[in-house]
Amino acid sequence: MSNNLFSSYTLHNGVTLKNRIVMAPMTNFSSNDNGTVTEAEVNYYSRRSHGVSMVITACTYVTPNGKGFPGEFAADHDDMIPSLQKLAEGIKKEGAKAVLQIFHGGRMCPADLVPDGDVVSASNIPATGENNPVPRALEEDEVEAIIDAFGETTRRAIEAGFDGVEIHGANGYLIQQFFSPHSNRRDDQYGGSLEKRMAFPLAVVDKVTETVRKHADFPFIVGYRFSPEEAETPGITMDDTLQLVDTLADKKLDYLHVSLTDYQSKPRRGVEDLTKSRLEYLLETINDRLPLIGVGSIYSAEDAKEAFATGVPFIALGRELIIDPDWVEKLEAGKEEEIVTELNKNRQEELVVPDPLWNIITNTPGWFPGIK
């Protein structure tokens, strides 16, 4: 089975990926205060780009009021293109395709990171939990401006030399906030029925793909990441997501990417058979129209083989590539027993992890295996 992980795959647009292993997008908190990429970040990505077929970067914000994290790099204006170019080159020179994840944090943005503390969302519903800001509902013209901003950021990614973009419609950020009945209580064209809640995500997809047609003179990858369910009531159900995925699978996308903490996880509601995994439902719905990337708690070679055996065409590794940047090469060379699956606190320099990310990892017990 592991040999199949090293078979190539040609996407709809003609781009061939050398194997079925992708670096998952992970926030790294390590950019400069002005939104430019640091040398430490470029080195971090380069160190992990020689084995995988594709690297999906940490998310970058498309407008100033979309910044979701301290130390997040920017792509919201043309002055950022040289910074983005450094990141693209650092990944590509090691042999992986470089994909820029583009996003807007919406109501998840800390007020101190956005201009005038003006946190925005689909509606004025705060995220669940304590001390979350009450967002301001976006006006229709502001919604359209953000859709346009996703297109402009895609143009910058093309000009910076990236091989593609991933639209971040997962993990509770703005695109998901429009799709969710919890965060979207609008009664205009962008809210209400399931179809209307899909309007913003689909408009972003259309704007991005239109931008690629207009500006890319080479095959440019467009992917879309989504979360299958929300815990809140009302909230996104598995059935809602299957309807969204069914619609996305007919769009001019190159892949879909499901955000899961565990690739074996099962639906909580919205479908008849709760014993089938979310991946099984998704693969059935997509029905080979485009590839799905599966992710979540893949550390050992055995984990990877089991995840790949579900039929998912690609697996994404996140935390494991921080723990062992040589994971792919070790598996390919048949040195599975040499794969490291717990983080060694004394190896920061060797692992090439920037200080801000390292400090968060080593001070968050339970997030990474080996950190207690």
Q: Which residues participate in catalysis according to the annotation?
A: 173
How many whole angstroms separate alpha carbon 316 and alpha carbon 48?
13
Neighbours of 261 (CB within 10 A): 8
Assigned token pair, 274: 């709760």
Q: Which residues contact 268 (CB under 8 A, 6 or more apart)?
A: 229, 231, 238, 274
How many whole angstroms separate alpha carbon 256 and alpha carbon 316?
12
CB 183 within 8 A of CB 107: yes
How many whole angstroms separate alpha carbon 262 and alpha carbon 295?
7
How many whole angstroms separate alpha carbon 171 and alpha carbon 230?
9
How many whole angstroms separate alpha carbon 107 and alpha carbon 126?
7
Looking at residue 249, what DSSP letter applies?
A: T
Of 175, 138, 140, which is closest to residue 62 (Cα–Cα)? 175
